[in-house]
Amino acid sequence: MHSLVFIKQVPDAAQVRVDYNTGTLIREGVPAIINPYDTHAIEAAVQMKDKFGGIVSVLSMGPPMAEDALRKALSMGADKAYLLCDKVFAGSDTWATSYALWAGAQKIVQENGPVDIFWAGKQAIDGDTAQTGPGLATRLDIPLVTCAIKIVELNLEKSYIVVQRLIEGGFETLQVSIPCMITVEKELNTLRFSPLPDLIRAARSKIHLLNSSNVDIDPTKCGLKYSPTKVKRVFVPSKRERGEILDVNENNIASVLFEKLEPVLRKMNKL
């Protein structure tokens, strides 16, 4: 069985601050981590390998520093790590990113054979669009299951998987054929601790570099210039005034609320 996990290196959101004068994120001094949802996708793929055998490949698009995220993935049990790194990818939106990752995936398939399950986190915490996974599924022309919270059954002989996914107000269970694309929630599994031998292996492993010279990719379909998404304006939401806590009881709640609302209602000509 071959699993391919798409991961992204992101700033640690818990330590990111906002410059309210410029409306931009202050990234200086903020450590980079694997997108938290993606770590659960890695864990899911490794669990499938533990049960059914095979290999787990991991692919990330980013600058050279993204190698750190890939080595972390290797320490979690992945077998091969690939970094898609090239200036032509800089500034890609989700549409262009899905194209570049799709092209990188084709190279990995050529080297390691067909992929049974493609995995990714449901979204990246620095963008929160949740568009790249579905975009990849569309380009790969395979079934898509989003927001997975449980793998119910995997049948490799009959080529299907049963997945429980989170939806508004509950969950639903889907059976789809494989190959397929699955994006995951954190509830899907519990992350394991990496033993020392895996940490050593990850530090010594080769990170396979992919770029426009060794991947069949059209440079006019990626990068900032060719991304259809255009940012018109970036702004920081205005600060809201703090509310007021009222000292009321069941006997005076109506009169206290009326006292507070009366001036507002008169201004609105409602009284």
Task: Give pLDDT tens digits for 150-175.
Answer: 999 999 999 999 999 999 889 999 99
Residue 34: φ, ψ to 5°: -70, 135
Domain count, the chain: 1
**CA–CA gap between residue 183 and residue 117 (Å, rounded):** 10
Residue 102 lies in a domain: yes
pLDDT computed for residue 60 by the predictor: 96
pLDDT at 240 over 60: yes
pLDDT at 206 over 80: yes
CB of 72 within 8 A of CB of 107? no
Side chain identity at residue 163, one-letter code: V
Average pLDDT, integer, range 49-55: 96
Residue 151 lies in a domain: yes
Residue 255 lies in a domain: no
CB of 215 within 8 A of CB of 85? no
pLDDT computed for residue 48 by the predictor: 96
Residue 59 lies in a domain: yes
Residue 235 lies in a domain: no
Q: Which residues contact 254 (CB under 8 A, 6 or more apart)?
A: none
pLDDT tens digits for range 7-47: 999 888 777 676 666 555 666 777 889 999 999 999 999 99
Residue 245 lies in a domain: no
Residue 133: φ, ψ to 5°: -60, -55
Residue 200 lies in a domain: yes
Residue 261 lies in a domain: no
CB of 74 within 8 A of CB of 81? yes
Domain residue limits at 216: 2-221
Side chain identity at residue 191, one-letter code: L
CATH of the domain at 47: 3.40.50.620
**Within 10 Å of residue 135's Cβ, how many Cβ atoms?**
20
Which residue(s) pair with 132 in the sheet? none
